[in-house]
Amino acid sequence: MSCISPSTDTIVDDFIAPVCDGFVVILYQDDDILLINKPSGLLSLSGKNPLNWDSVHYRLIHGQEGVTPAFPEAKLPHRLDFGTSGIMVVGLNLESAQHLNKQFQVRTIQKRYVALLAGWVADDQGWVTAAIVKDKKHFPRVKICHTTGKEAISEYKVLHRLEQPRRSLVQFTPHTGRTHQLRIHSQVIGHPILGCDLYKNEQSEEMADRLLLHASDLYFEHPTGGKPFHGQCPCPFNQIIYFRPDASCLKAGKDTK
């Protein structure tokens, strides 16, 4: 696949995040780490534009009045996209953050996501292997490029297929951590994530009022003691899926023709 030549134009990020009314929720806390639930529509880190000051990190170090205390030494060893909700691990001191950082770097941490995709994914499970590179002419998008892109591998499993309209509830396990990896890989297989504004078809963005991508699970080694640790965060849009009166459902493995 050919690639567009890099642009020499300066990239301008004029995105201003809307106000996020959701809260960062603490799922687990000890002396060294937090597990938190990030709401959709909140930056992980504050942006360069001073108007984009609000973020997970800002709320952690300053506290959320009446909701969570301040954790002035909190550090984020990983991020979630602005529109993605779900579980994040936070280091509460330098040693814990460095230990977690190393685990992410060597890819020993396993992450799982749940997403709602447009249409019915044909195979019950599979892999997407499509290299990703920044699309310098269409910031902040990325693109598939097999010549200069970085290796990107996503594993998927269809959990349910839904009717009216046809959608697929999918569990993703990314084996690499590229920017927008699950979003563009979903588009690659012809089933973009509902609510995604960057990688979409004619209807998929309008089929949801948020990006329907949620980080559900983290498997890692606790930085103190080294014991295996599993953090889990329930998917907030499962209720929308299963309790809509017109949303009939087929489990994966049923006839989808």
The residues that are catalytic are 81
CA distances in angstroms from 42 to 16, 58, 211, listed in the order given: 11, 11, 12
CA distances in angstroms from 97 to 2, 17, 38, 236, listed in the order given: 39, 27, 18, 28
| CB 94 within 8 Å of CB 105 | no
How far, in Å, CA of 14 to CA of 163, rounded? Answer: 38
How far, in Å, CA of 81 to CA of 193, rounded? Answer: 14
How far, in Å, CA of 124 to CA of 132, rounded? Answer: 24
Beta bridge partners of 217: 112, 232
